[in-house]
Structure 1
Amino acid sequence: MSTHEESYYYVPGPSAWPLVGSFALLLMAAGAVMVMNKVGPGMPTLLTGLAVLLYMMYGWFRKVVGESQAGEYNKRVDGSFRWGMGWFIFSEVMFFSAFFGALFYIRVISVPDLASVDNALIWPGFKNVWPSAGPGFKDQWEAMLPWGIPAINTLLLLSSGATLTWAHWGLMKNQRTQLNIGLFLTVLLGSVFLWFQVTEYSHAYHEMNLKLSTGGYGSTFFMLTGFHGFHVTLGAIMLAVILFRSLKGHFTPEHHFAFEAVAWYWHFVDVVWLFLFVVVYWL
């Protein structure tokens, strides 16, 4: 590579895609709030936001892919992408840390304090046990056990991490068949995971009376597993895009950051689920 090429740094022109994405997230947030409070056109708003988000992802991905295939990205740009993805994953770590922190506060501080001698007159009979919806929750409900669907989903995500790594090995050896099969298996395993999670939620709501409104336990359970499921959904979509690009002959052993970025994200999702399985389901 010449000195000029090494010093060159591609800067794209102004883009409306970030604004479109922000509008999509606004619609999704507003729709979710309306659904939870049973007011206004909640579900149509939520679905519209999801559709706009998918449109934004398609348009933005297409633009970036075109720039990459045109050879606009050199090693300096590649380094910026890696730093950007690294900081993005760090922000996701902080996002989930907030919810894990809320769960820790409830279990280790709030529940023991509410069951203490000092609060015996306020909440008589309340015990320091977990899972607990809190002293003011009177409805009968059941906690989600770790074995069954949660254990199956753990096996699915761990397997998906292995198939993705296998696909990466295929890419590094320029074995396209191994790359494509590995990516397909990873997308398939992620989709099956989501199907099982939908089944689990349906069972929780209709047979266990476990809902987002079930006090401290229900709110933390659905916030943590729900946001994780949302991340799995986004990861599966991105992996499907990478699979489609791979089938078109994109990526080489020397230039494949898009593959690596999605792989980093997917492995992050795997690690978060392991924490979820232990802290939310098991302990």
Structure 2
Amino acid sequence: MKARSSLWSRAYSRVLFGFVITFVVNVSLRAQAPESPSAAVRKPRARDLNPPSAPRGLVAEVANCHQVELRWIAPADGTGSGPKAYVVRRSDGGESTLSAGRTTFSDANRVSPSTGLTYTVSAVDAGGNLSAASNAVTVTTPPCAGDEQGVGDFEGNLEVSIEDYPDGKSRTLHVLQTNKERLPIQFAGEAPGHLSTGAPVHIKGRLLDGILVVNSGDTDLETLAMAVSSSTSTTTSTSITNNGQFAVNTFGEQKTLVMLVNFQNDAASNHLWHCE
């Protein structure tokens, strides 16, 4: 027994003082099925696949050589989730999207004089379902009698930025991002100070050489309660299981278990390690 203890003592004396063995265990939780009802497995919410009914009674009237006024009747039945926005389409490819809170539209977006235009309106619900088109109406804009300008409705998300100059001066730039294009905004007076990037807005203005001219930022610009078109995003990705349920995917999440085992030769305590 003495020889055995002496042998182990000499073996452990060669172990450096404070030597640390670290065991790192990475536990991957990628795509693991939940083990209890409280885990994040949920049934998919029933998706609304029923489009809203088409708008009715579309009427178009020419205001001047650069402006056409439209009005229609909102869908009256309860099909689907109801309209959240309207899409106005023009026969020359023009298209505008506006919130469902209004059923009138002033089109002054590159309307040319002496041109025949056909319009339709469709409704879009919260699920992105598009209704059938309304009745089609056709108008012909007259030739311009003078320096006529059209004032139209424009909706989209606002972009606000600040441009600095070497002399220390700066100016605030406003741009309207519609569903089709980016339009720089020029305020005839002082721009409102409460505007922020990303705000959905409705603007009454004149489109001159690609610039949206707004007379009054207080009366001709309205902040909408919600964006005309939006997408839902989530930080937790999901995958569809074989039974049609949604399971949370925790790819990339890891847990680390660290075990520290210290071996040291404590001669003062004369402590010996024994292995069976």
TM range (shorter): under 0.3
Structure showing the higher strand proportion among its residues: 2
Task: State the TM-score, normalized to the length of structure 1.
Answer: 0.19
Task: State the TM-score, normalized to the length of structure 2.
Answer: 0.19
Greater relative contact order structure (CA < 8 Å, 6+ sep): 2
Structure showing the higher helix proportion among its residues: 1
- Computing the radius of gyration over CA atoms, which structure comes out larger, 1 or 2? 2
